Amino acid sequence: MKIHREGFSILAFAAGAMTVFVLLVPRRLRVISGFLVAIILGFLTQFFRNPDRTTPPCEDCVISPADGVVVGIERVMENEYFHEERLRVSIFMRVIDVHVNRVPVSGRLIYYRYHPGAYLMAFHPKSSELNEHNTIVIERTDGQPILMRQIAGILARRICFYLQEEQTVEAGQELGFIKFGSRCDIFLPLDAQIDVQLQQAVKGGETILARF
């Protein structure tokens, strides 16, 4: 299993701390405590897993930026960049999901802003505006801009973002990472064809969310 670099320090610290814990408990409890430690380390390891993904070669497609479940498909007013109505597809990233975020379309990154904020439940309708989040706009090669938000959840306390403005990007490319439960929103033109349904499980870098 390939581990994401965001997990190296956390896993090393957790392994060291738990080893000390096992050595300090009474000898008769070490088997049980060792078993519990193995479960915890296993959970942390799977959380930071970074599987290889094969992105479908589709110029007119919008690829899911994250693993998770589709919790919203609706027309909303986007007030930060477009200042007009857009179709918003919201993906809730559960603790059990891969938390690597990926680029949804090929093109050029033309806008990036970090916004501090609250830590509401990630599936809350207002979390897209009120929670800590990153706003990213990628302009496709045909000039069509797509807006994506990385949104912190009630447990997430760090949103990682690895790209820079004016950088050329490819669909499926690693974009960032959000730790411990979060959400990603994609804002699309109103005439986009949505290819997913509510409560559908999606995979970052592989599942087609929509088409132009």
Q: Please say if 182 is a catalytic residue.
A: yes
Q: Do 78 and 133 lie in a common domain?
A: yes
Q: What is the pLDDT of residues 127-158, one digit of tens each?
A: 566 678 999 999 998 999 999 999 987 655 57
Place of tokens 């498909």: 73
Number of structural domains found in the chain: 2
Q: How far apart are CA 67 and CA 184, in angstroms?
A: 9
Q: Which residues are bridge partners to 117 per DSSP?
A: none
Domain extent, residue 30, equals 5-47
Residue type, 168: T
Q: What is the pLDDT of residues 57-70, one digit of tens each?
A: 998 999 999 999 99
Q: Is residue 90 part of a domain?
A: yes
Q: What is the domain-level CATH number for residue 74?
A: 2.70.70
Q: Is residue 56 part of a domain?
A: no
Q: Do 73 and 160 lie in a common domain?
A: yes
User: Residue 3: which of 51, 42, 36 has the closest Cα?
Assistant: 51
**Residue pair 87/74 in contact by the 8 Å Cβ criterion:** yes
Residue type, 40: I
Annotated catalytic residue: which of 64, 90, 128, 182? 182
Q: Do 187 and 152 lie in a common domain?
A: yes
Q: What is the pLDDT of residues 156-186, one digit of tens each?
A: 557 889 999 999 999 999 999 887 668 899 9
State which H helix or E strand residue 174 sits in: strand 174-178
- Is the pLDDT assigned to residue 193 strictly greater than 60? yes
Q: Do 124 and 65 lie in a common domain?
A: yes
DSSP helix, strand, coil percent of the chain (3-state; round to 5): 20, 40, 40
Could you tell me the pLDDT band of residue 50, with boundaries at 50, 70 and 90? confident
Residues 6+ apart with CB under 8 A from 116: 132
pTM for this one?
0.83
Q: Do 21 and 75 lie in a common domain?
A: no
Q: What is the pLDDT of residues 80-127, one digit of tens each?
A: 999 999 999 999 988 888 889 999 999 999 999 999 866 565 555 555
Instruction: Report the alpha-carbon angle 111-113-117, nearest 5.
Output: 155
